[in-house]
Amino acid sequence: MTDALIIGAGPAGLMAAEALNSAGIRPVIADAKPSVGRKLLMAGKSGLNLTKDEPFETFLSAYGEAADWLAPMLRAFGPDQVKDWARDLGQEVFTGSSGRVFPNSMKASPLLRAWLRRLDADIRPRWRWMGWDGDGVRFETPDGPQSLYPKVTILALGGASWSRLGSDGKWSQHIDIASFQPSNMGFRRGWSEHMTKYFGAPVKPVRLTVGNRVVEGEFVVTAKGIEGSAIYAMSGALRDGGALVLDLLPGLTEAEVARRLAKPRGKTSLSNHLRKALGLTGVKAALLREVGQLPHGNLLAARIKSLPLDLDGPAPIDEAISTAGGVRRTDLSDMLMLIERPGTYCAGEMLDWDAPTGGYLMTACLATGRWAGTAAARDLQQR
């Protein structure tokens, strides 16, 4: 009999295996894809953001409504522990100017290779979980249907974005969940023809406001709409119906903008006046014109500082970086065990929490995987 089974070989599943290894337990790891950590490797192509270096309470607040129940797990394995873990794998890290923490190599592949060398596990690729049959855990495998009968099981099945990398959410047919929603995604908008030449242009610096949330950063105009770090940070509020307002000149007060615009412009066109008085050109000037006819005087200053940008809705879930929704907190014990299925634990993005990018997503996957793996090991030892 298999003592410990982990389903899903992403960061949460591999960290659960590491926790089991620490207790002297060698798990079986089943994954539907031909190789492990595929979404991790894709995320690392643009720089593997492991965590965020900031005061812990600030870090914890990024998890919003889920902060209270994730807090014990993140205190046990938070930003400091993530950095130490990477170093123990031979991957030195550095903190960027925004507080984001990356491996010196920037890529995920060296860290993943070192991690797999250290893990003691029976990894079974192309094993897709097909639910339960009594005490049996059923799989479709290259050798046909198979069932395992583990003493403990850890589900680390991911969310429902990036299906080509294995995070397809198909497992949700076997567990009652909160419906999946896209998270950390772009938004659609149909543009006027004059915006075409600005597709791919970054809008920076810019301040975004959605309700009572404010973020300063940058985003990119695309043929389909807008995307980028500042948009991802606001994605939950926008997804839930919030209205987006842009401050195109966050370094100037509205009064200063009005003062500069009030200077006589003579025969200078408004476009040139905006350029000379405010340095407002390119994609920012185009966005200003996109929302309608420009007012004059103080009304124009107010428009520049509070530009409403209507959106047509979020990008499809399979284009999102991650997903909200998943296994509900109320269906889990404090140790992440499914209440209705003792001995079965859940971890990672399949849990119903909604984290922004910037290292928060990765850290919580590692932390919940470690928490579930430690609980499963304790469960085995007590049997």
What does the domain layout of the chain look like in residue ranges? 4-182+318-382, 187-314
* Beta-sheet strand order (sheet of 136-141): 128-133, 136-141, 144-148
Instruction: Report the run of H or E that residue 137 belongs to, with start and end.
Output: strand 136-141
Residues 6+ apart with CB under 8 A from 198: 221, 282, 283, 286
Report the alpha-carbon distance of residue 13 to residue 49 in Å, rounded: 18
pLDDT at 1: 61
Would you state the torsion angle of the CA atoms of residues 339, 341, 344, 347, taken in this order, to the nearest 10 degrees?
A: -50
pTM, entire model: 0.91
Find where tokens 């810019």 sit.
206
- CA 236/CA 231 separation, integer angstroms: 9
* Banded pLDDT at 217 (limits 50, 70, 90): very high
pLDDT digits (tens, 9 = 90+) for 190-206: 999 999 999 999 999 99
Average pLDDT score over residue span 3-23: 97
Pick the CATH number of 4-182+318-382 from 3.20.20.30, 3.40.50.720, 3.50.50.60, 3.30.365.10: 3.50.50.60
Residues 221-270 have pLDDT tens digits of 999 999 999 999 999 999 999 999 999 999 999 999 999 999 888 888 98
d(CA 75, CA 137): 32
Q: Is the pLDDT of residue 357 over 90?
A: no
